[in-house]
Amino acid sequence: MDPTRPKWPGPVSDSRDLVLAIDQGTTGSRALVIDRAGRILSTAYREFRQHFPEPGQVEHDAEEIWTSVRDTTAEALEAAGAATERRAAIGITNQRETTVVWDRASGRALAPAIVWQDRRTSGRCAELKALGHEQDIRSRTGLVLDPYFSGTKLEWLLNANAGWRDQAAAGDLAFGTIDSWLIFRLTGGRVHATDHTNASRTMLYSLDSGDWDPWLCDLFGVPLAMLPDVRVSSGDFGVTDPGVVGAEVPILGVAGDQQAALFGQGGWERGDAKNTYGTGSFLLLHTGTERGPDVPGVLTTAACDRRGGRAFAYEGSVLVAGAAIQWLRDGLGLLEYAAESEEMARSVGSTDGVYFVPALTGLGTPWWEPEARGTIVGLSRGSRREHLVRAALEAMAYSTLDVLQAMATDPDLELRSLRADGGASANDWLMQFQADVLGVPVRRPAATELTALGAAGLAGLEAGVWAEPEEFLAARGLEADFEPDPHGSRAREEDVRGWRRAVRTAIHWAHIEDDGGG
């Protein structure tokens, strides 16, 4: 263990064996109590309201988020019977990019939180592109110039509210992503901090310096005085106010949701990757402690090393993954439960030449074609629903391959295995097909709450609940390992070529002009 790191609350004691993980997501807040053996002793969940003031705008009530976290935390601690003396640490993971501004003195949020999905600043992003700032922003932040990130959202708030910029410059107002907001409230206003993974999603943070970028803050008119202190993901983020969770508990781990999942999956070193197969899918490929070269269509983002320290990753997103199965179920009625897709895929030897590109909301990494739409090609008289369902599962695997191939520009950056999580990773057929398509093993842990476990790991390692990262990983368990079929590579290549033709067809459809039927 690194002897220079402060430990709280002093020497590691066997009796402090519980970690509280707070997983603050886009639709709800979850709190979990986890013990040293990696068991989830209790969980509590609360949804909160989504606000859509205008088309393209999405807001959350930051106060409601706070109360949902405070209440689920209390509930989980009580349900686990977690005595005060056993509470070692708190780990926080959160929806990223969502932007909150509050008054330091009262601790109250001053406006609704602008959620990552909110597109209100797309005009401003177009303007910044026209001004020629895209490349500069890209090289400083690793991000693409898009409303998704916090920078233009915060700029919008400062422009929309007269006097805020001056108050912020005077130190009276604070900005934060959801992690900072929760840390501030949990510590009774004593700590205003964030971690490097969350900071890297704000578009105000320099990946190279590891701190706020004065040029970017100037560009967006953001006073440095309103920004949180940036810290590594495992470390001291203050101690909770006893009035809040009943006792003083140190906050020792913080990371954005995707980076927490990567950490929870044991993705600590160059070449480690995880994919979360949910509604969409999110893939992170760890590139080590040095920032990799920029890759077109792929984000570079901060990630954690084995101790929560600064490292880097490539990030890609597939907009529709499990949602394609949902659509076949709810839109077309081809199946009753998502899990049925596994048996249906097995019941046919192939898709019989059918490809389904589920670009229902456009295409993400690496194509970035917002106008592309869902496309089914290769139908014949013999095509059956089983073929279509199988094609939807295959599309998840092929899309993952597309993302990884886009990232593989550096010959030294070799993918060793892919770690899977998310709802659709329960599908054994899909996991095997994924391993065959990638030609590397796909590993699925026994645990399901990887994001929360990652936050718990970051905090519990710092607290000494686990002395070494491997101990934490062993507690988490590995359930299944899917090895690639050593004989399937030729057939795979042909299938992948077919998939690429289908993707090109979907993109082509979005771009060819309507000739009026003449």
Among 198, 300, 351, 427, binds ligand ADP (CB under 6 A): 427
Among 256, 422, 445, 498, binds ligand ADP (CB under 6 A): 422
The Cα–Cα gap between 340 and 125 comes to 43
CB of 425 to ligand ADP, least distance (A): 8
Annotate 374-399 with DSSP letters as a single string.
Answer: -EEE---TT--HHHHHHHHHHHHHHH
CB of 42 to ligand ADP, least distance (A): 20
E strand intervals along 192-265: 193-195, 205-206, 211-212, 229-231, 251-256
Cα 173 to chain centroid, rounded: 27
CB of 409 to ligand ADP, least distance (A): 28
Among 83, 339, 379, 446, binds ligand ADP (CB under 6 A): 339
Among 34, 334, 424, 453, binds ligand ADP (CB under 6 A): 424
| Between 346 and 508, CB nearer to ligand ADP | 346
Pairing of strands 442-445, 417-421: parallel
Binding flag, residue 448, ligand ADP (CB under 6 A): no
**Which of the stretches 32-40, 194-202, 337-345, 406-414 binds ligand ADP when contact is defined by CB under 6 A?**
337-345
| Between 238 and 322, CB nearer to ligand ADP | 322
| Between 394 and 495, CB nearer to ligand ADP | 394
The Cα–Cα gap between 359 and 342 comes to 21
The Cα–Cα gap between 320 and 335 comes to 18
The Cα–Cα gap between 376 and 321 comes to 15
Residue 385, phi-psi category: left (phi > 0), alpha (psi -120 to 50), beta (remainder) = alpha
Q: In 3-state terms, what secondary structure has residue 127? A: helix
CB of 324 to ligand ADP, least distance (A): 8
Binding flag, residue 157, ligand ADP (CB under 6 A): no
DSSP H/E element including 102: strand 100-103
Q: In 3-state terms, what secondary structure has residue 13? A: coil
Binding flag, residue 360, ligand ADP (CB under 6 A): no
Give the residue from 306, 408, 303, 393 showing the smallest Cα distance to 354. 393
E strand intervals along 263-309: 272-277, 281-288, 299-304
CB of 437 to ligand ADP, least distance (A): 16
CB-closest chain residue to ligand ADP: 423
Residue list 276-335, contact with ligand ADP (CB under 6 A): 278-279, 322-323, 325-326
Count of residues interacting with ligand ADP (CB under 6 A): 15
CB of 340 to ligand ADP, least distance (A): 8
| Between 279 and 505, CB nearer to ligand ADP | 279
C-beta separation of 82 from 33 below 8 A: yes
Among 9, 362, 423, 439, binds ligand ADP (CB under 6 A): 423
CB of 144 to ligand ADP, least distance (A): 22
CB of 266 to ligand ADP, least distance (A): 19
Instruction: Provide the binding-site residues for ligand ADP, judged by CB under 6 A.
Output: 278-279, 322-323, 325-326, 338-339, 341-342, 422-424, 426-427
